Structures are given as structure tokens and as C-alpha cells.
Amino acid sequence: MTEPAPEPVAKPPAELSTSAGNQTPGGVRYLEIGADHQGQRIDNFLLAHLKGAPRSLVYRIIRSGEVRVNRGRVKPATRLEAGDSLRLPPLRLTPAAPAVTPTAGLQARLLDAVLYEDEGLILIDKPSGLAVHGGSGLSLGLIEALRAMRPQQSLELVHRLDRETSGCLLISKKPAILRWLHQQLREGQVRKRYQALLVGGLPRERVDVRAPLRKNLLRGGERVVRVDHAEGKEARTGFRRAETLAGFTLVDVRLGTGRTHQIRVHAAHLGAAVAGDDKYGDATHNQHLSSLGLNRLFLHAAELGFRPHPEAEPLVVRAPLPEDLHQVLERLRRKAPD
């Protein structure tokens, strides 16, 4: 079998300033960091700008010392400064997959789903069933669709939602705003409220769950998360009963941390899994709910509170409960005793 010719070294993004003669005969590149990337972690910078490079490669070239800043070795968490000289080794990158054009229907849905937008960010009401990004057999996710619709903007996911979860999702339009929003997330300054339907009830009106979580991989690559008091990471979730409905409970959920599958695992830990959850829930109850029209996870990111930029006042944006979930509640209310 003939091996493919080596791919060319990735070009620096247009917003980076570079000096003449910045590539050596051996293929090493030197980039000068511009003001737009001031304060950005070097691993995030490389993941965003070395298109086609797998995460494992990015972290390997950092830890091996092949990536250097101002001639010195760095760690993944090292933050860049304007004017830094960044050394990149020769890289053979997988060619980027051809861009997939979102259908006219999807484009219209996403246009209608914008809840808030300014010069630095978009807050969108993500539809259930749409992954936030492509991968694992999906050629197109929400972020790829938005990039195709807005090719002149530098769009990045600020955080993520599960594919079946609907509601508030933040997308940055500028690297500086991405860093600002990530700072608020790290410091617990972003208020997240979800609505969920639980199978069963809560022991009291308010329940705070503090149970550390650990990611696991099952056979076949399926990702699951478990409560693990020995090796798990801190996780805090607050549940508040909003309405009791014929064996189910509608709750408001506040996140104290942002772990993968946190609400779903903590709800199951309470013995009251999220309705429609095919990974941590109950198949018998889910089958009953399907007969009532619930064919997805009943989990909705209903509200985000944050500051859009450092000088801005706090902003609260709400996403209304989708019609399909509203109809399920109405059917359960008709079944509830008077």
C-alpha cells in the first residue's frame, strides 16, 4: 500500500501576527501571539488552531517540550501573553473533513432559537436531539452548523449540553469573551437552572446532593458516570420540588458544579431518575412515559445568569419549556388525582 504524502504544516490563523522567515528548513514554525489571545491557556489555543490535530497529539507535543514559549518549556495550563514567541514542531495533520452544509430547515430552527446576542457571544435555545458538536458518527453538530452559517465569525462552544437536553447554550464570538466566560464558570459565577421531571418523588421540598462523580468507560466505548466517594470529583446539585404529578415530580435544579451527566447521575442516586433517561433511568417507567408522548430526556436548561463582558451588568436569559415537554406535563396533570 502506498503511504500518503505528508500533509503540509498547519498555517497560523489569520489573526496571529507572524514575522518574516518564521519557518525553519526543518518545518518548525514560530508564531507571535497577538492581543486577542492574551491570557489563553496554551492547550486551548492549540486545540482551536491546529485543525485536524487529535487532543492526544496536542498534549503529547506540549509535555514532550516540542512546543515552547519564548524558548522555554510549558505546561498545558500555561497562559499566553501578547508578544510571546510560540514554537510549533513539524506536524502531519489529518485533512479536515469537507464542510457539511446544514439544511435550510436546521438553519431556520437555529435562527429562531437565538435568545440573546451581542458583539461577543450568542445564547441559543439548543433543540433536543441536536449534538453540540460532530463526532462519534455525527458529521454535523450545532457548532458546525453555526460556523457554516457564519463563516466570518470565530465561534466556540463555551460549555456543553447532552444531545437530548434542550435549552440555554453559550457560544463565544471572540477569544477574549470565551476566556471571560470560562473564568466565570471556573469561579462559580454562572447561575444555571434546569427543569427536570423525576420518576418518583423527593423526600422533602429541597434536597441538596453532594456526591463525588467519576467518569468510566464501559465495553464498546460507552461513557457512563458513577458516584465514587474514593476517586470521584466534587459535585453539588440542588433539587427543588415544583409540582407533584401522578407518580412523577417536576423539579427546578441548580448546579453547584458542572460535571458530565451530573443532574442525571445525582437524580438516579436519589432513587428518582430523570424521566426518559435510557442510561441511568428505568426502562419500564420510560416505556410508560413514551405512551404519554415523552420520547426524549426530560431535562431542559431553563435559565443562565452571567455577565456578558467584564464591564456589563449581570444578565439572566431564560429558555421556555419546549412544547413537547409541556404536553407531557399536561397529560400527567390530567391523570393526577383531584
Task: Report which of 17, 20, 75 is spatially closest to residue 46, judged by C-alpha positions.
Answer: 75
| Mean pLDDT, the chain, whole residue set | 86
DSSP secondary-structure letter at 36?
A: G
pLDDT-wise least confident of 20-29, 38-47, 316-325: 20-29
Residue 19 confidence (pLDDT): 37
Q: Is the pLDDT of residue 143 over 50?
A: yes
pLDDT-wise least confident of 156-165, 207-216, 267-276, 282-291: 282-291
108-119 pLDDT per residue, tens: 999 999 999 999
pLDDT-derived band of residue 14, with 50, 70 and 90 as boundaries? Answer: very low
Active site residues: 162
- Spell out the domains of the chain, with CATH numbers in brackets: 29-88 (3.10.290.10), 104-335 (3.30.2350.10)
| Residue 196 and residue 301 in contact, taking contact as beta carbons nearer than 8 Å | no
| Residue 280 and residue 265 in contact, taking contact as beta carbons nearer than 8 Å | yes
pLDDT-wise least confident of 36-45, 68-77, 242-251: 36-45
Only one residue has cell 506536524, namely 91
Q: Is the pLDDT of residue 324 over 50?
A: yes
Transcribe 84-136 into DSSP letters. -EEEE----PPPPPPPPPPPHHHHHHHHHTEEEE-SSEEEEEEPTT--SS-BT
What is the average pLDDT across 12-37? 61
55-88 pLDDT per residue, tens: 888 999 999 999 999 999 999 989 998 899 999 9
| Residue 38 and residue 174 in contact, taking contact as beta carbons nearer than 8 Å | no
Q: Is the pLDDT of residue 283 over 80?
A: yes
Residues 6+ apart with CB under 8 A from 54: 94
How far apart CA 69 and CA 76 sit, in angstroms, is: 12
Residue 24 confidence (pLDDT): 54
Tally of CA atoms within 13 A in the half-sphere of 77 that contains its CB:
0
Q: Report the share of the chain in percent with pLDDT over 90.
A: 63
